[in-house]
Structure 1
Amino acid sequence: MNATMLFNFQVDKTNKKIKVERSFDAPIELVWAAWTEAEILDQWWAPKPWRAETKSMNFKEGGRWHYCMVGPEGERHWCLFDYKKIVPMKSYSGTDAFCDENESINMSHPRMQWDNRFESRDEETVVNAEISFEKLEDLETIIKMGFKEGFTMGLENLDQYISAQFYLRKQNKPDNKARICYYINFPGNAEEAMNFYKSIFRTDFVNGIKRFSELPAEPGQPPLSDKVKKMVLHTELPLLPGHILMASDAPKEMGFTLTQGNNMFINVEPASRKEADRLFSALSSGGKVSMPLQDMFWGAYFGSFTDKFGINWMISYQTK
């Protein structure tokens, strides 16, 4: 953890509570997402070498998060978080309990009532977590199980996630002017893909390619392998004026789980029909065309495809 980050951990036996105050070098929108979206929680909630694995999640009042902690030998400990009250971007509360794979709560194990509050302070976000117990014995049991050490490691995983995703953004964009960008994560071939796009758009990277080897070393974190060090941490490529393509690798070695889906399209609007033809032909080479370029009823010369890296594109030249 960065030495400047705020971290207070207090055990209040009188009131049967654990109080944790922790700051993160990220805007509140990112930190809120990291605590409330299963895809991100799975990347940091468990202390390494354990990992979290979500079976189901419905983040709403009355909803549930059913997940398990998976050990290095494949052992699984199931948990169930029942959400009670949610105030978006400000707080949420609920009860976390041990259970089985079918969501049956184990009443012989302690249950924890969580009350998490989020506060934006300058460019940081502070999270205050207050964890209450029904009995003092339950609190003491959780402490003996290594809750402080495990939760501390989990929070450091979140620091690493934030660093890997957003390090060097301020250098590449020092002001808050609005712009349109697209961000893509790759399973390890980001450099190959970005060089392919660079050759087509005939532009150059903004501040070059930053690699995982440039990440600041964090105390207590295992060293990166040579393979991961060479991967792309962050790079930006101008496509057209005002449009930036950003990319990074998402290595499994750092806990990232990358799922290729069809929920993202990059829409490029060139200045001429000729350029639309050129871009469509070059980008779709080796890929799969879903709609050939053609004149559409809304006045556009339009086509769509998935390129050879699995990224979805739309080319649209407005003719009217």
Structure 2
Amino acid sequence: MSDEPENVRAITITRLIDAPAHLVFAAHADPVHVKRWFGPVGWPLSTCEMDFRVGGRFHFQMTSDAGELGPPFGGTYLEIVPNLRIRYDNSFEAPGSPVMVTTLSFDEDAEGRTLLTHHTVFESQAVHDEYRGLGFEEGTGSSLDLLADEVREMVAEMGGG
């Protein structure tokens, strides 16, 4: 990682999801759910392998609705605090790809809604700027919108909606 301050290397995106933290967390912990929401609209996961435990690895690949295969990427789960936080590193699997570290925080309010904070720190400001230019915020935001839809389905399956 760079000596540059974190604030010039980070992107934070939040979503308020109308469901308790344990359901939003569960949607991140189970590959059945992750495969339904992860990735921007039009780029669903075609590969979703997860060993969801500290030190476990994940391997993902997206395929566009038009059949274009995206580059494989993955990482390692660094911290898992059930219903509160997940932290992992992540990079494309090509040699020399920059590594980013993402922390997901699940903060449930008194009404049972969850503020999900997606905080990603890039290796350098240059990498941050490159990913921002490639649409990182829009793609992540789109994915989080799909996550909210998935959690809504989970609530409905439980008879809550």
Query: Shorter-normalised TM-score: what interval?
Result: 0.7 to 0.9
Out of 67, 84, 93, the residue aligned to residue 90 of structure 1 is 84
Query: Which aligned pairs between 1:151-300 and structure 2 lie closer than 5 A?
Result: 151-167=140-156, 169-170=159-160
Q: Match for residue 8 of structure 2?
A: 15
For structure 2, which runs of at least 5 residues remain unmatched after alignment?
none
Q: Please, which of 53, 64, 76 is the counterpart of residue 71 of structure 1? A: 64
Paired-residue identity, %: 25
Distance 2:82 2:19 in 1: 17
CA contact (8 A) 1:93 1:115 kept: yes
Q: 2:104 aligns with which of 107, 116, 122?
A: 116
Q: Which has the higher contact order (CA 8 A, sep 6+)?
A: 2
Per-residue CA deviations over 1:114-160 (Å, capped at 9, x if unaligned) read 11111111210111221111111100111111111111111111222
Counterpart position of 1:35: 28
Q: Structure 2 vs 1, CA of residues 170 and 82 (structure 1 numbering), >3 Å: closer, same or farther?
A: closer
Residue 92 of structure 1: SS of its match in structure 2? strand
List, as ranges, runs of 4+ consecutive aligned residues in structure 1 with deviation greater than 3 Å: 12-15, 167-171
Out of 118, 128, 139, the residue aligned to residue 129 of structure 1 is: 118
Equivalent residue of 2:95, what SS?
A: coil
Distance 1:106 1:71, change over 3 A: farther
Q: Which residue of structure 2 lines up, in the alignment, with residue 243 of structure 1? A: none
- The amino acid of 1:113's aligned partner reads V
Q: In 2, distance between residues paired with 1:129 and 1:159?
A: 14
* Deviation at residue 13 of structure 1 after TM alignment: 7.5
Deviations 1:267-316 (A, max 9, x none): xxxxxxxxxxxxxxxxxxxxxxxxxxxxxxxxxxxxxxxxxxxxxxxxxx
- Which has the larger helix fraction? 2
Structure 1 length normalisation: TM-score?
A: 0.45
Matches within 5 A, 1:299-318: none
Name the CA shift for 1:51/1:137 in 2 (closer, same or farther; >3 Å). Answer: same
Q: Matches of 2:46 and 2:132 in 1, distance apart? A: 23
Distance 1:90 1:164 in 2: 21
| Counterpart code for 2:11 | I
In structure 2, how many angstroms separate the alpha carbons of the residues matched to 1:23 and 1:106?
36
8 Å CA contact 1:54–1:65 kept in 2: the answer is no
One-letter amino acid of the counterpart of residue 124, structure 1: R
- The aligned amino acid for 2:36 is Q
Equivalent residues of 1:79, 1:97 under 8 A apart: yes
Mapped partners of 2:108, 2:61: distance in 1:
30
1:210-262 Cα shifts (integer Å, max 9, x gaps)? xxxxxxxxxxxxxxxxxxxxxxxxxxxxxxxxxxxxxxxxxxxxxxxxxxxxx
Cα distance change on mapping 1:165 and 1:93 into 2, 3 Å: closer
- Greater fraction of residues in strand: 1
Query: Could you tell me how far 1:21 is from its partner in structure 2?
Result: 2.1
Check whether the contact 2:39–2:139 (CA below 8 A) recurs between aligned residues: yes
TM-score (norm 2): 0.85
The unaligned stretches of length 5 or more in structure 1 are 1-11, 100-104, 172-320
* Structure 1 Cα separation of the partners of residues 126 and 101 of structure 2: 15
Larger Rg: 1
Root mean square deviation, CA, Å: 2.1
The structure-2 alpha-carbon separation of the partners of 1:61 and 1:14, relative to structure 1 and needing over 3 Å to count, comes to closer
* Residue 138 (1) aligns with residue 131 (2): no
Change (3 A) 1:167 1:73: same
Give, in angstroms, the shift of residue 52 of structure 1: 1.1
